[in-house]
């Protein structure tokens, strides 16, 4: 059983085989050797196992927000070891591929965000025809930004949220849920004045979407949300929680080594939803300073910290909520990720004044163990199973 995660102590993504290695063995956890001086991670494997697809880049928040991170892509032949750079026809001085993954065996999908922060394009590229990207097909272009893109189980539609005004697909200018078919046809699922809809995920049968609903005018820090479900055509829309009672996003961890990001609901194999409801009156250990740069507004402030959250399982048909990990004061369980068989829950656990740690829970027995709190105990987060 393999996982990937972000290690704050090393400032890079690592991979770990939980059946063979301890997270304390950093060398065993390193995913790949650097390529051209850039940290490298494996983001896909071909179905026949012959090739690994690698992405090399150096991340920092300010470059990311300014669209200045240049990601290089490579294909490695696992029989010969040959490493070939991909998409060499794309001008990396102008072009930033992100939100990248394979839709089907050879159909590569990416969103290109340009450095001027004005234009974003959605591309598909059939790498069975060419690895250099010369045949990349632009499906559409927009001034808004599509991300948190999720492929449906049938692999013929992509759900995503669109940030930024678009008269047809985000008419209120907050965040709207959209769907795109593989020919580039787009559909607006839902958009509502004063509501930020974020992080759509398909149900196991592809008949429903779940996502979060934040009220950004009342909650500028985007800490809190409710959980929503609806059909892909927007019908059946209803909120499963109320009072923005679930955790959406936060900053956490040690002073000087803070981490953060968004928290999404996920589906179980039996079409229920795992989310992070909070104790009443909860608040992360930070305050919002709107004078700071975008995405740097959360300032460490222990005096603000109170409450906490655990995990619950919601039944969207009955509305019944079942506690999975109890919400406790000063403890926060968030960013859940289920193994493909539904047996294991991987998540981040944080306590005020401590580094974030990764935990693994057996969904059948409830047994939970800590995996790592990062190199030198500086924090770990953003964990996911590597399904091969």
The span from the CA of 85 to the CA of 171, in Å, is 40
Identify which has the larger pLDDT, 95 or 357.
Answer: 357
How many Å apart are CA 140 and CA 328, to the nearest integer?
46
Residues 99-136: tens digit of each pLDDT = 888 888 888 888 887 766 678 889 899 998 889 888 88
**To the nearest whole percent, how much of the chain has pLDDT over 70?**
98
Which pLDDT score is estimated for 94? 61
- Given a cut of 80, whether residue 27 has pLDDT beyond it is no
Mean pLDDT of 13-37: 81
Contact 71, 86 (CB under 8 A): no
Residue 296: name the closest of 263, 258, 264, 247 by CA: 258
Instruction: Supply 150's token pair.
Output: 């999720």
Contact 241, 224 (CB under 8 A): no
- pLDDT value, residue 46: 85
CB neighbours of residue 27 within 10 Å: 6
Residue 250 has pLDDT above 90, yes or no: no
Q: Which of the given ranges, 25-39, 42-56, 284-298, 354-368, has the highest pLDDT on average?
A: 354-368
DSSP sequence for 305-332: -B--B-EEEE-TTT--EEEEE---TTEE
Longest dimension (CA), the chain: 58
Q: What pLDDT does 387 receive?
A: 72
d(CA 228, CA 210): 6
pLDDT at 265: 97
pLDDT digits (tens, 9 = 90+) for 328-343: 999 999 999 999 999 9
pTM to 2 decimal places:
0.93
């Amino acid at each position: 059983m393999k996982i990937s995660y972000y290690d704050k102590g090393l400032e890079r993504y690592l991979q770990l085989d939980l059946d063979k290695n301890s997270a304390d063995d950093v060398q065993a956890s390193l995913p790949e050797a650097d390529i051209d001086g850039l940290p490298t991670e494996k983001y896909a494997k071909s179905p026949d196992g012959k090739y690994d697809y690698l992405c090399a880049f150096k991340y920092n928040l300010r470059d990311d927000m300014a669209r200045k991170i240049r990601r290089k892509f490579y294909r490695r032949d696992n029989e010969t070891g040959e490493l070939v750079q991909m998409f060499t026809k794309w001008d990396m001085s102008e072009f930033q591929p992100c939100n990248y993954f394979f839709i089907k065996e050879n159909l590569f999908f990416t969103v290109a965000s340009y450095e001027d922060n004005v234009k974003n394009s959605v591309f598909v590229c059939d790498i069975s025809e060419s690895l250099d990207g010369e045949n990349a097909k632009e499906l559409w272009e927009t001034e808004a930004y599509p991300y948190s893109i999720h492929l449906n189980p049938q692999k013929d539609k992509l759900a995503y949220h669109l940030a930024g005004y678009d008269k047809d697909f985000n008419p209120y200018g907050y965040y709207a849920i959209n769907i795109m078919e593989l020919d580039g046809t787009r559909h607006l699922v839902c958009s509502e004045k004063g509501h930020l809809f974020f992080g759509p995920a398909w149900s196991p049968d592809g008949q429903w979407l779940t996502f979060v609903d934040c009220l950004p005018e009342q909650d500028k820090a985007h800490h809190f949300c409710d959980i929503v479900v609806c059909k892909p055509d927007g019908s059946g829309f209803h909120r499963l929680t109320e009072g923005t009672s679930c955790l959406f996003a936060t900053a956490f961890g040690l002073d000087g080594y803070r981490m953060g990001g968004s928290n999404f609901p996920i589906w179980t194999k039996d079409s229920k939803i795992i989310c992070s409801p909070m104790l009443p009156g909860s608040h992360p250990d930070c305050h919002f300073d709107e004078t700071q740069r975008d995405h740097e507004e959360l300032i460490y402030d222990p005096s603000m910290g109170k409450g906490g959250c655990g995990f619950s399982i919601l039944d969207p048909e009955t509305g019944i909520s079942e506690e999975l990990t109890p919400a406790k004061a000063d403890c926060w369980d968030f960013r859940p990720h289920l193994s493909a068989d539904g047996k294991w829950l991987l998540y981040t656990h944080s306590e005020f004044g401590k580094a974030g740690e990764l935990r693994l829970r057996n969904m059948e027995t409830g047994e939970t163990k800590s995996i790592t709190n990062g190199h030198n105990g500086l924090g770990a987060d953003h964990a996911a199973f590597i399904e091969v």
